[in-house]
Structure 1
């Protein structure tokens, strides 16, 4: 890879820290990018590391064509050829791992939720500023073309002045051990609830939250199982969200104006946007571009930031990551949900 001289020459070597389900999704993405002429001169799938299982790392690397596999994170961070590390571990581990990566000279793409709370996020971003390394949150919807498509509809005036919005993301994932483990910052909020919150923040980027009402059910281990919240925004919009880790949700995002409304099918990976008039007639459907998996956009943004010498990506600047963490902290405060490491 080129030095940080503001050019786009060179290929960014990407490593994955962790071998769980989401790591496989990223590996599939990187494999596809390496075979796609749009990305093959920018990205190289390079390495994967497990915490303490070299054979598992090697099997993962062989499956996706990564040339290097490491049986410990420390061994991976000692490799001088790695430019970008994608952190694919549970939320509670992100802060220390991102800091370790940057202290080893590696740029980081940190899976959402960026950290477990705002305090951890500030620690990570302080290190990014001190090291001058790229550090960005891998909340994929922020980097997708569908984000601008929604803003284009709102800007067109087709649905009039937005007054209400609703967003849901729910999956029955309580069977996964980390989802119910307080020590891993388990619960619906940080894993699935983060998407409806980001949906609202992307649709109304200049609006602050003036008031919030929320409620949740907690598991017997004290993590949120399902919740709902309504935010009153400074632009006059009321925004209601809900998420659950024990039900199948509609995954819809709805923005309602005084002249019509739009529906985003699957806010977690938008499939299309339908626009309706005030008489509920569908005016048009907007398809989103074909993609490899949808993860490629965040990888491209991080790679370009690295090559340009920027510490953050425009799609998810550090202040925005902190703002989302602050919203989630405030919801947990309403519910009395405290992770063991916060006590």
Structure 2
């Protein structure tokens, strides 16, 4: 294979964002020889056909099984609610397709481990589509910290909140709804990327529930063994500034929008801006994860270096532990 035929499983909002990405990559000189938009599948054939016609995909299917059976598909982007990811990723991998699974990777660690076990059994790529892990801003933040510009890191703060309770999926426990898996995963990953898998000594957290029982607003504090203290907040009730900050002994840095970092400012101890960094222009932001996944398929790898299986499982286990503290379970976990 010299080019990866990419397919989208699901036809909702996030699937549309991926479709725009694949179409843009197909005409971009950096990616056009790597990825081709090929097919989309939905549970309704008419909806899938309309989706394919809108974005110029040559093939559409009215069932996920038909998509998995297509021998021309190399990589499938799983764009359905969290609780369906494991079943659908397993279907695709057993049919010989690599999978790029939208975050949160699964509804819980058990589902996530099932996917990774099948990846190992089949030799198929299985990687989590949490786009911030693949973006250039990740290395930019690391480089600033490594330069010593802010001194020794002592604390980290990150938040991501959107009022999304009007969306049925977000408030439905049966679909693994709530703030944690939908938006909380981003501040948690922002902190984890900066800490580079450092061990956590203890966690303190609290949750405000929505009327349906899902978590509506979460507050989490991670105390690392090396002394760093990190706080994260997420919510489906309100807007927040979406900021991320790293505080050090000589100064600090701030990141505009941790969900897709737009710029980074570095401050000294007098709160004076000493450096400003703009993040490189992007197609949509999703192209980085697609390119990494496509190259991994070509290389015959089962994981991407940007989000290896060990990191996915660590984050999923962390979120399971938070829900255990909140006594929050989903109906399908009973």
Q: Tell me which stretches of 4 or more aligned residues in structure 1 moved more than 2 Å.
A: none
Give the alignment's TM-score, normalised by structure 1. 0.97
SS for the counterpart of 2:84 is helix
Which residue of the partner structure matches residue 100 of structure 2?
Answer: 109
Which residue of the partner structure matches residue 23 of structure 1?
Answer: 15
User: Aligned partners of 1:73, 1:144: CA distance in 2, in Å?
Assistant: 29
SS for the counterpart of 1:137 is strand
Do residues 13 (structure 1) and 2 (structure 2) align? Answer: no
Do residues 178 (structure 1) and 166 (structure 2) align? Answer: no
User: Aligned partners of 2:164, 2:251: CA distance in 1, in Å?
Assistant: 34
**Structure 1 residue ranges without an equivalent (≥5):** 3-9
Matches within 5 A, 1:33-72: 33-51=25-43, 53-72=44-63
Aligned residue among 55, 73, 76 for 1:85: 76
Which residue of the partner structure matches residue 87 of structure 2?
Answer: 96
SS for the counterpart of 2:121 is helix
Per-residue CA shift, 1:280-308, capped at 9, x if unaligned? Answer: 00001111110000000000000110111
What is the CA-CA distance between 1:103 and the residue it aligns to?
A: 0.9
Aligned residue among 309, 313, 336 for 2:327: 336
Do residues 227 (structure 1) and 218 (structure 2) align? Answer: yes
Do residues 303 (structure 1) and 316 (structure 2) align? Answer: no
What is the CA-CA distance between 1:235 and the residue it aligns to?
A: 2.2
Which residue of the partner structure matches residue 146 of structure 1?
Answer: 137
Do residues 237 (structure 1) and 228 (structure 2) align? Answer: yes
User: Aligned partners of 1:267, 1:19: CA distance in 2, in Å?
Assistant: 26
Do residues 200 (structure 1) and 191 (structure 2) align? Answer: yes
What is the CA-CA distance between 1:220 and the residue it aligns to?
A: 2.1
**Structure 2 residue ranges without an equivalent (≥5):** none
What is the CA-CA distance between 1:222 and the residue it aligns to?
A: 1.2
User: Aligned partners of 1:78, 1:257: CA distance in 2, in Å?
Assistant: 53
User: Aligned partners of 2:256, 2:210: CA distance in 1, in Å?
Assistant: 29
Which residue of the partner structure matches residue 154 of structure 2?
Answer: 163
What is the CA-CA distance between 1:77 and the residue it aligns to?
A: 1.1
SS for the counterpart of 1:254 is strand
User: Aligned partners of 1:335, 1:159: CA distance in 2, in Å?
Assistant: 35
Which residue of the partner structure matches residue 252 of structure 1?
Answer: 243
